[in-house]
Structure 1
Amino acid sequence: MRFKVTILGVGGVGHVCAAEIAKSGYLTDLVLADISTEAAEKCAQKLRNKTAASIEVCRVDASDKGSVAAILEDVDVLLYAGIPEFNFTVMRACLDTRTHYIDMASASPDSLLKQLDWSSRFKQAGILGIMGLGCDPGFSNIAAKYAADQLDTVKSITILDGDNSDVDYEGFCAYFSPQTAIQECLAKPNYWTVEKGMQYYSSPFANKDEFEFPDPIGWLDCYVVEHEEAATLGKSIGKGCEYVEFRYALHPDFVNTLQVLSYLGLDRKEPIRVDNADVIPLNVVVTTMPKPAELAGKIHGYSCVGANVKGTKGDKNVELFVYTIANHDEIYQKSGFQATVWQTGVPPVVAIDMIAEGILKGTGCIPPEMIDPAPFLKRLKARGMDWYVMEKTSPMLKIIASS
């Protein structure tokens, strides 16, 4: 039986996805597509002697619907690993060709909600769209759902992303897409409440607090940052959930650099005139930064992503932290990738596994927490991405009315 997958965007995360999907016995055809094919060709050369599947490399412009649609004939699933700016163009191509669609991030929480509003179109085309299935968002959503399933009620959900590593690089860098990192950290941070829905702080780096991550990471300063999880988790999970937020552990040097970039206007996407050329300031900054894949083997420490869910079970208050943790050096020795891109690239491949096995069915557009967490997490562990549960409990205080 034929099963064909296209990966559009073969940067660091796309390369991880390709390496993982190539291990799958069900895969018969793999297309690696990018606007620049050099990295895709190198990836294909590495994988061709590791899989019986046919691997083809194509030049594709993700901003051009026709260019994307041209490579989707007989493709079962398209995994989009490019920048979120072109999500809607790629989705249109999948609608035209009736191809299942998965991406790993949205341009903003509002953009995610607009993507999910396309659900009726996807149902009419008979295809499934999964929005934001990387590590966070992605694994984080599914971890939150798994934790919520263990509880009778849910009070709050905090997604936590922390890293205690050092990097052998002198200069400003990000462990995942530099463009995305800069934009989401400098955007107004969002959170969700059951009374008012989506809310925003007035400025970035809001509401700093210290959180304790599992050993050997320990305590880190975490900031509320713009992210997709808060846009959907409260409504999707329900159970009385009152509050959802995403917190990112940021080093003071990283925060200071971003604040300077913002002050100088170097985070802007609108072109400015420099001598005789139009220049986009953000593109200039990103061009000076290393690509995340280039940091493989240079990062030393641990990366942890998880969902901290507070609620009740029976007569107890319960706090569950469902998380994954990875050592950058160990992941590099095992896979050749740094941990952050590896953690992002494995979860969407697990969804493809479940589609290929006929376990993940249905049509329309869904956030990751709508995937059944138990079979997903089982397959995630089988692909080497371990996950854990930390539990804290306390008795519920009963208020006795005075007579």
Structure 2
Amino acid sequence: MGKVLVVGAGGVSSVAVHKMAMNPEIFSEIHLASRTKSKCDDIAAEVKKRTGVAIATYGLDAMDVAATAALIRETGVSLVVNLALPYQDLALMDACLEAGVNYLDTANYEPEDEAKFEYSWQWAYQDKFKAAGLTAILGSGFDPGVTSVFATWLKKHKLDGIRQLDILDCNGGDNGLPFATNFNPEINIREVTAPARHWENGQWVESPAMSTKVPFDFPGVGEKNMYLMYHEELESLSTHNPEIERARFWMTFGDAYINHVTVLENVGMTSIQPVMHNGVEIIPLQFLKTVLPNPGDLGAKTVGKTCIGDIATGPAKDGSGEKTFYIYNICDHEECYAEVGSQAVAYTTGVPAMIGAAQVLLGNWTAPGVWNMEQLDPDHYMEMLNRHGLPWQVVELDAPAAF
């Protein structure tokens, strides 16, 4: 039905491309580009072996707008799926505008030289995409992405509004290594070491990184310590759901992970400020990334499950008073590896990227402009989650979140 260009060749890209190849009635042609073409070739070979579908591969500097626009025209695609680093979001959006195609990503823009991520840079493209008659979908991963769609589905089917929202992200997997990040180490460590922020009573409340810890019993996983963090969907959800009084994001980490990050931060290895080493300028965090395990290589080692979802409180649609619902997905690391050769963290981002792309190609999400996931109709997306590896459950809780 549609031709798509995927940019990026990491673990999430591998999952997304595998799942696209499993749905040829939607994705008639798949093109894959990255700065390192050999990584694309490796993914294409795995996809061919598992599905029989051939994928065209290219070497591309995604920061080169003219080169990207030329490749878009050469391939004849109608959608670019950005699974590269978030530093490249704006350049890829510019290339889509130049070539006249739609855009989708999984994470919002952040400058490479500043630990700051917010939607303002991408929201500024609203008028450009609208004038061009093109659609840009922001954040079609799991969080952001599925968790935002969960909130919208609850508002459409269960609640008249959301008063309180907590997003809970638990990875109960174990890869047997002393220290490894679940996704791109550079992005992961920047998020973890940033100050925590949550939305409350019309303003942002900031606290030191990793300073608020709460135990929680996660379905399918068990009790884990979760930490209050800032995550980008808090900005878009509080903007597009102005009735929200409080919105928070929580992620689980083991004690060993916290200890490693603390030590690395204390000795300057998480810094993004350049330093001179033997006459060569390096970024400590980028160097650290090169010596840490590649998350894309951890699939065969990882066992256990993830559990990610929303706890939302608000007035019930049936007029029965205030209700609280917990909506979540449980994903098994070993099952993900058996299907697409990936651990569950990459799977839970790559599958939603495929489903979001499908919504564009199927014509379900085509309004011109720049849109966050919670602004879009959730129903077909939610139905596809159930059919393509990320089934969800919703339960009513006795009371709002007590933590």
What is the TM-score of this pair, normalised by structure 2?
0.92
Do the aligned partners of residues 139 and 250 (structure 1) sit closer, same or farther apart at CA in structure 2, a change above 3 Å counting? same
**Secondary structure of the corresponding residue to residue 370 of structure 2:** strand
Counterpart among 275, 290, 299 of residue 287 in structure 1: 290
Give the equivalent residue in structure 2 for 1:6: 5
Q: Which residue of 2 aligns with 1:374?
A: 379
| Matched-pair identity in % | 27
Distance 2:297 2:86 in 1: 21
Aligned match for 2:126, one of 114, 119, 122 = 119
| Distance in 1, Cα, partners of 2:145 & 2:14 | 18
**2:99 aligned to which of 97, 100, 119:** 97
Is contact 1:26–1:356 with CA below 8 Å preserved after alignment? yes
Structure 1 Cα separation of the partners of residues 137 and 374 of structure 2: 10
Equivalent residues of 1:28, 1:54 under 8 A apart: no
1:135 aligns with 2:142: yes
Counterpart among 75, 83, 86 of residue 81 in structure 1: 83
Q: C-alpha distance in 1, partners of 2:117/2:47?
A: 37
Paired residue for 1:235, among 226, 234, 239? 239
Cα distance in structure 1, aligned partners of 2:155 and 2:213: 25
SS in 1 for 2:323: strand
Q: 1:316 to 1:158 in 2, by over 3 A?
A: same
Q: Which runs of 5 or more structure 1 residues have no equivalent in the other structure?
A: 396-403
Deviations 1:173-217 (A, max 9, x none): 111111111000001112113422x3432x211322222211x31
Residue type of the alignment partner of 2:233: E
Q: Structure 1 residue 162 and structure 2 residue 164: aligned?
A: no
The structural deviation recorded for 1:338 is: 0.7
Residue 400 of structure 1: aligned partner: none
326-335 or 122-131: bigger deviation: 326-335
Which residue pairs with 1:147 in the alignment? 154
Worse-superposed segment, 46-55 or 59-68: 46-55
Partner of 1:323: 328
Counterparts of 1:273 and 1:151, CA distance in 2: 55
Give, in whole Å, the separation in 2 of the partners of 1:85 and 1:353.
24
Once the two structures are superposed, the pairs formed by residues 349-388 of structure 1 within 5 Å of their partners are: 349-388=354-393
How far apart are the structure 2 equivalents of 1:67 and 1:244? 40
SS at match of 2:238: helix
Q: Does 1:176 align with 2:161?
A: no
Q: Which residue of 2 aligns with 1:67?
A: 67
Pick aligned residue for 1:195 from 198, 202, 221: 202
Query: Can you list the C-alpha shifts for 1:130-179, whole angstroms capped at 9, x where unaligned?
Result: 1111111111111121123311332111111012222132x321111111
Kindly indicate whether residue 260 of structure 2 is the aligned counterpart of residue 254 of structure 1. no
Structure 1 pair 296–394 and aligned structure 2 pair: CA distance change class (3 A): closer
- What letter matches 1:159 in structure 2? I
Q: Deviations over 1:223-272 (max 9, x none)?
A: 1112111101123134x320111111111111111111111111112221
Picking from 198, 218, 222, the partner of 2:222 is: 218
C-alpha distance in 2 between matches for 1:394 and 1:63: 48
Please tell me whether residue 307 in structure 1 is matched to residue 315 in structure 2.
Answer: no
Q: Distance in 2 between matches of 1:70 and 1:37?
A: 17
Q: 1:340 aligns with which of 333, 338, 345?
A: 345
CA distance in 1, matches of 2:139, 2:26: 24
Q: In the alignment, is the contact (CA less than 8 A) between 1:316 and 1:393 conserved in 2?
A: no
CA distance in 2, matches of 1:383, 1:166: 24
Gaps of at least 5 residues in structure 2 are 111-115
TM-score, length basis structure 1: 0.92
Question: CA 1:306–1:38 in 2, change beyond 3 Å: closer, same or farther?
Answer: same
8 A contact 1:140–1:159 mirrored in 2 = yes
The answer as to whether partners of 2:33 and 2:40 remain within 8 angstroms in 1 is: yes
- Cα pair 2:47 2:54 within 8 Å, conserved: no
Q: Measure the CA separation in 2 of the matches of 1:324 and 1:84.
A: 25
SS of the residue aligned with 2:118?
helix
Pairwise CA distance, 1:386: 0.7
Any idea what the Cα deviations from partners look like across 1:22-73, whole Å, max 9, x if unmatched?
Answer: 1221322211100001121122223346668662111001122122212111
Deviation of 1:329 after TM superposition, in Å, equals 1.3
Task: Find the aligned partners of 1:206 and 1:365 in 2 and give their Cα distance.
Answer: 34
CA contact (8 A) 2:90 2:109 kept: no
